[in-house]
Copies of this chain bind each other. A is one copy, B any other.
C-alpha cells in the first residue's frame, strides 16, 4: 500500500528541506515517516472546501508532536487571497497566544499555500511552516521554491516574501477529490517542465497522459517527483529570482495577460499558462529557435491534458494592443520592456525581449474569436 514514497531534497544551505511524496500520507497516519519541525503549537490553515476533507486527519497526525493543535479556516478562492484573509491567520495566532515556536501548516491549494507561507514569514518576523499541498498545481509548483504572496487590488502577488517551508508533504490521495478542471490546470505546469528543462520527461508525459488523467498514483508520484526535482534545481541556483528562475515562467507572460484580461476566475491560472505556452512556442518558432513540429507536439499534449490551446480575444477593437499593454505592466517587465521565456531548442529556455511586430503576429495567430 505504501510502496510509493519518494523524497526530493531542496538544497538551500541553512534553509534546505525535504519534499515527501507518497499516497495516503495525511489520511492514514504513519507520522513516523515524516519529521515535523519542533514547536510549541501547530496551526493548521485551510479553507472552507478543504477543511472538511482533510483537516481532522492532519490534526490527528499532529497531536502527538505538538502540545496544542489549532485550526483556522479561510474563505475559498483567489478572490480572497488578500490582506483581509491573511489577517484571519494573524487573528487566530494572536487569539490563541501563539509564540515564535508555533508551526503553521498550509493545507490546501496554491492560494492557501501562498497565504500561509506569507503569514509565517511575517508573524513575529518569521515562524516555521510546512506545506501540505492538495492540488496538483501546488504539489508540482507553488509549494516548492519559497515564493509566498497575497494579491493587491492593483496587482496579483504584489505583496509577499521569499520564505522557505521546513517540509513539504505531498499526499497523492488528496488529488482524488480534485475537480477535473483543476487537475488539468495542474497538468499545464507539469507539461511546462518538459520544454524548459527535460524533453525526456515530455516524452514520458506523452506516453502516460491517460494514466495521469485517471489519477494513477504511480504515474502521479513520478510526475510530482520529477517536477519537484527540476524546480528544486532551478531554485537552488537562483533562490530570489534574479535570473535563471525566470524560465519557470514559460507561458506565464501571455498567461497572466489572459488571466487579467478575462477577469480573474474566468480562466484558471493553468489554463492561461497552457494557451500562453502555445503563444510562447509560436514566438520561439518565429524567432527560428524551434521548429513547427515541436509547437505541434506541445499543442497536442496540452489538448490531451484537457487544456485550452487557443487564447481568447481580449479586445475586439485591437486585441494585440490589449495583450501588449497587459504584458507591459506585468511584475516581471522592467521599465516597460516585456521579457519572454522562449524555447531555445526543445528542453532549453532563455529569457529575452522580442520585437513588437512579431509578438503581434503571434497574438493574431493564436487568438480565437
Contacts and interface: CB of A to CB of B under 8 A. Distances in A.
A321 interface: no
Contacts of A158: 90, 94, 123-124
Interface string A60-72: 0000000000000
Interface in A293-330: 329
Given A95-B154, A125-B148, 18 more contacts: A40-B334, A40-B335, A90-B152, A90-B154, A90-B158, A90-B159, A94-B155, A94-B158, A97-B329, A99-B333, A99-B334, A99-B335, A100-B334, A122-B160, A124-B158, A125-B161, A125-B162, A125-B241
A240 interface: yes
Nearest to A122: B159
Contacts of A162: 125-126
Contacts of A335: 40, 99
Interface residues of A, number: 35
A87 to B, nearest CB: 7
Nearest to A146: B125
A89 to B, nearest CB: 10
B87 A83 contact: yes
Contacts of A124: 158, 160, 331
Contact of A240 (B97, B99, B101, B126): B126
